[in-house]
Structures are given as structure tokens and as C-alpha cells.
Structure 1
Amino acid sequence: MRSLVYYVASTVDGFICGPKAELDFFSADGDHMAAIGEEYPETIPVHFRSALGIDPPNRTIDTVLEGRGSYQLGLDDGVANAYPHLRHLVFSRTLGPSPDPGVEVVATDPVQRVRELKREPGQRIWLCGGSELAGVLRDEIDELAIKIYPVAIGSGRPLFGAAGFAPHHLRVTSTRTFDDGVVFLHYARPPHDHQ
């Protein structure tokens, strides 16, 4: 069965962006950037690939999931499919027809759709964002990979929006600290903890 990994950037106080979707406090400089290319090359969006002149192969991920808010950030920048090298699903009941033939808009239950995806053959499924979708899919997340940046912002969109109080215990599978202050934390849900 395929696993769902929530791989995301976070502030030290647990926010994936500011209250108005601000992201400019996440640095794209520093020694942690090489690790992203090595460990998660699939997560490098097409416009960064073009700017950097790179096209790394997919290693362990072949599908990306986004919520409407996360997807809208790309649309606002004129990018209708930031991940053409992956199967790309956007969960939205308001988006309407897909703006790109490589993007599947899903207006049905995210939990049911993710369970279907997990049963299909393939590599890992990456939950790119955002906060609300992560909250809805929290019980389906098998791995949590967080890039914690050395910044606190006070308020914004939390790692898991609208999830409610329900403690989930995870086990640390790896940690890595970089000279630029970014820390990669990787957690896995114990197998017995799945519903």
C-alpha cells in the first residue's frame, strides 16, 4: 500500500504560512537547499527547475495533492501546474474545471479519494498543502516531514487547520540540522495507529 507523506515547511511556532498566505520569511538560500534536491527532488516546482536549469528525476514520490488555497498561490503567479512531472490532484469544491490538463480537480471527499490512491500501485503520495486539507487528512498521513525554519511569526495557518483536538503519537525516524538553522524532522506513524 502506498504511503501519504506530508512534506512541508514550517516556522518554529508551527505555521506553514502567514495569515494572508505570506511565505517570504522562508529562505530559499542556505545549505538546506541541496538536501531538498537530494531527498525530495519531486517537490521542486517546474518554475524553479527552469530557473535553476535542472530536471531531477522522481525518487520516491509520483503523486502530489494540494488544497485550493495552496494551488491558488501558483495560479496567482501564472503557474497552473507547478508539478507536471507528478500526478497532480487539487481538492476543491469551488475551483470548477481544471485550469490545466495535467491537474485533476477533486470535488469529492478527500479521505475517500486518498484511500483509493493508496490502494493503487505506485510510489509515495505527497501532501503539499495546505493547512485545511492536512487537517482533513490527518488520520491518513503516514509520514510527516517538516522543514523547520528558524523564524517565529506569531500567527498564520497552522500545520493542521481545523483538525480538532485528537493527539496522534509519532515516532522520529530522522533529524538533520543545517548550518543555516533549518532543521529537517521526519516522523512516521506507528503501523498500529492507523484507522
Structure 2
Amino acid sequence: MRKVIYSINLTIDGCCDHTKGIADDELHHFYANLVREAGVLAYGRITYQLMVPYWTDIANNPDGQPSADVAFAQAFDATEKVVFSQSLAELTDKNSRLVRTKPEDEIRRLKQEAGGPILLGGVTLPSYLIQRGLVDELIFVVHPVLAGDGRRLLEGSSLQEQLTLVDSRVFQSGCVVLHYRK
């Protein structure tokens, strides 16, 4: 059975806005490796549109781009993606599939297939799946930043659950990776 893993960047005060953290080579290499290990990336519409065409363009036109960005872009471009959306008419990259059914139904089906983990990105879809007990592991990359404002993870949720820390790592930038398992 495949695992469902959620990974996200957070500031120390819990903000999960992608513009509030540090985007350096070490972080891009970390995420490139995480994506390479994944069998499927699962996103909602907003995250998909943040990622595509930005990363697919870098994968297809790497000249002049930092090597860490290219490594992530190529890993991202090569990995199968499942995108949950009721409003998108079509997807523009080669390895993506649009899903209009309930996310929990498709994730349960994907979990039963052989292959690498299902890696979740974004905020809304993972929060929805966490509240339904479908996420097995969480990887938080905590940035040494106080954002002061912005969206918070699991905002409005009353979920209470004890997690087990299975790994941690500190980057040169001061970012700390915390890997938890249910």
C-alpha cells in the first residue's frame, strides 16, 4: 500500500505562503529528491497553477537556470501528477491527469496501487485529506522567518492528533526539516 506524504514550507509563526520563505539550492535539492522518490504528485487547482508552467518551462529550457532549480524542475516534470479541480478545463503538461471525483475516493484508490508514495502539495487539498485521516506522514520545512501574517496550515480545524518524529535535519539557511509519521 502506498503512503500519502504531505510536505510544506512553513514560517516559524505557521504561515504557509510560498512567498514568505527561503528558496535556496539546498532546499531545491531536498525537494527534488523528495519528488524523485514519489510515484504521484497530488495537487489542487491553485497549487497546480503555481507549479505549471513555471517548473515545466525550466525543465524544458534549462539554459541559464541554477542547477538546483533545474534538478527540481526535471524531477517535477517527469513525475505523474493528479490534479483535483472542478473548474479547470484541461491540463497543459504531459504527465498530469485531471480528476473531478471526490479527492478522498481517488486517494484511496491510488493508495491501493503499486508504486512510490503519493506526495501532496498545497494547503487546501492536504488539509482536507488530513482531516479525513488519509495522510500517513507530514514533512514540515520550517523557515527561520516570522511572517506576521498570511494563511496558516489547518486554519479552523479542530483536529487533534499525536505524531511521531521520525527524522529531522537542519539546512545551512536555518531551515529545519521535521518529518512526522502518524
The bucket for the TM-score relative to the shorter chain is 0.7 to 0.9
What is the letter of the counterpart of residue 108 of structure 1? T
Alignment of 1:14-29 (within 5 A): 14-17=14-17, 23-29=18-24
Give the TM-score, by structure 2 length. 0.79
Structure 1 residues 34 and 155, CA gap change in structure 2 (3 angstroms): closer
Partner Cα distance (1:133, 1:24) in 2: 19
> Which residue is equivalent to 1:112?
105
> Which residue is equivalent to 2:40?
63
Structure 1 residues 113 and 26, CA gap change in structure 2 (3 angstroms): same
> Which residue is equivalent to 1:54?
none
Give the TM-score, by structure 1 length. 0.74
CA contact (8 A) 2:78 2:95 kept: no
Question: In the alignment, is residue 142 of structure 1 matched against residue 136 of structure 2?
Answer: yes
CA contact (8 A) 2:56 2:93 kept: no
Please report the RMSD computed on the Cα atoms of aligned residues, expressed in angstroms: 2.4
Partner Cα distance (1:99, 1:155) in 2: 33
Alignment of 1:35-184 (within 5 A): 36=30, 41-43=33-35, 58=36, 60-75=37-52, 77=54, 79=56, 83-128=76-121, 130-138=122-130, 139-161=133-155, 164-184=157-177
Structure 1 residues 34 and 16, CA gap change in structure 2 (3 angstroms): closer
- 1:76: how far off? 6.6
Identical counterparts, % of pairs: 30
Partner Cα distance (2:176, 2:54) in 1: 28
Partner Cα distance (2:28, 2:103) in 1: 32
Partner Cα distance (1:66, 1:186) in 2: 20
CA contact (8 A) 1:42 1:86 kept: no
Count of paired positions: 164
Structure 1 residues 63 and 72, CA gap change in structure 2 (3 angstroms): same
